[in-house]
Amino acid sequence: MINRFMDFPIIQALSDAPDSSSANLRYVAAASLQFREAEVDTMARRWIQWQRVVAMTFAGCLGIAALGQAQFTSLSDHSRAMLEGNWQSCREADGQYSERVYDGKWPGMAPFELHMGPYHEFALFHGITDGHRSHNSPENLLKPFNIELRGHSAHQVWNVAGVHLDVTLAGGSREDCESWYVTLQRSASASH
C-alpha cells in the first residue's frame, strides 16, 4: 500500500526519513486520507462542471429558439386554412429584416412558394426553387408586394392563382420586429 503513494513527493520524503516505521505509517495513513479528500474534491468539481455544461446547453437550446429571426407560429388545425398563424420579421445584426419562405404542396394545387418578408414584403410564386427570387420580379403574383403602412396598421388581401392570402400587421413583441397575422387558404372561386 505504501508503494501506491510513493509517486507523491511528501510520501517519498516520509519514507526516506530516519523516523520509526510506525510514524511513517501514520503519516502515510494521514496523507492517504488527504489524497482521498482530494479525489472527492476532484469528483465534486467534475460534477459541478458537468452540471454547468448541462445548464448551459439547456439555456442555449432555449436561447436559440428565441434568437430565430423569422419565426412563424402556426395557429391552424388546417380545417379551413392551409396556413394560418403569426409570423415575425425581425431586424438582424446586419440591419436587414428576416424572410421566411413557405413551400406550398397541397393536394389538387400546383406547388408554390409564399415569401413572407423581409419587413413589409410578401411574394407568391408558381413552383418551388432552391434559389432566392426577387419580390419585385414580374413572376411575383402579389401586387402590390410591399405593404403600405397607414399610421401603425397595415392590411392586405390577395385572391390570385387559386389562393386567398390575407395579411394584417399585428404589432411586435420587440421594437425591432414586425409581427404579421397571416391566413392562406384556397380561394372561394378555386373550390367550386
SS (H, E, C) the chain: CCHHHCCCHHHHHHHHCCCCHHHHHHHHHHHHHHHHHHHHHHHHHHHHHHHHHHHHHHHHHHHHHHHCCEEEEECCCCCCCCEEEEEEEEECCCCCECCEEEEECCCCCCCEEEEECCCCEEEEEECCCCCCCCCCCCCCCCCCCECCCECCECEEEEEECCEEEEEEECCCCCCCEEEEEEEEEECCCCCC
128 and 157 within one domain:
yes
Give the range of the structural domain holding residue 39, as residue numbers without chain letter: 3-67
Give residue 18's pLDDT band: very low, low, confident or very high (50, 70, 90).
Answer: low
List residues bridging with 16 in a β-sheet. Answer: none
113 and 36 within one domain:
no
112 and 131 within one domain:
yes
Of 28, 44, 67, the last residue of a domain is 67
Q: In the numeric block, which cell numbers belong to residue 67?
A: 434568437
Of 50, 67, 84, the last residue of a domain is 67
Indicate the number of domains in the chain.
Answer: 2
Report if residue 57 sits inside a domain. Answer: yes
Neighbours of 163 (CB within 10 A): 21
130 and 39 within one domain:
no
Compute the half-sphere exposure of residue 124: CA atoms within 13 Å on the CB side of its CA: 19
**What would the mean pLDDT of 113-134 be, rounded to a whole number?**
92
**What value does the mean pLDDT of the chain take?**
75
Of 51, 67, 83, the last residue of a domain is 67
Asked if residue 5 has pLDDT above 70, the reply is: no
Give residue 11's pLDDT band: very low, low, confident or very high (50, 70, 90).
Answer: very low
Report if residue 101 sits inside a domain. Answer: yes
Asked if residue 180 has pLDDT above 80, the reply is: yes
pTM: 0.59
142 and 79 within one domain:
yes
130 and 52 within one domain:
no
Report if residue 192 sits inside a domain. Answer: no
75 and 63 within one domain:
no
8 Å CB contact between 88 and 179: yes
Report if residue 117 sits inside a domain. Answer: yes
List residues bridging with 103 in a β-sheet. Answer: 113
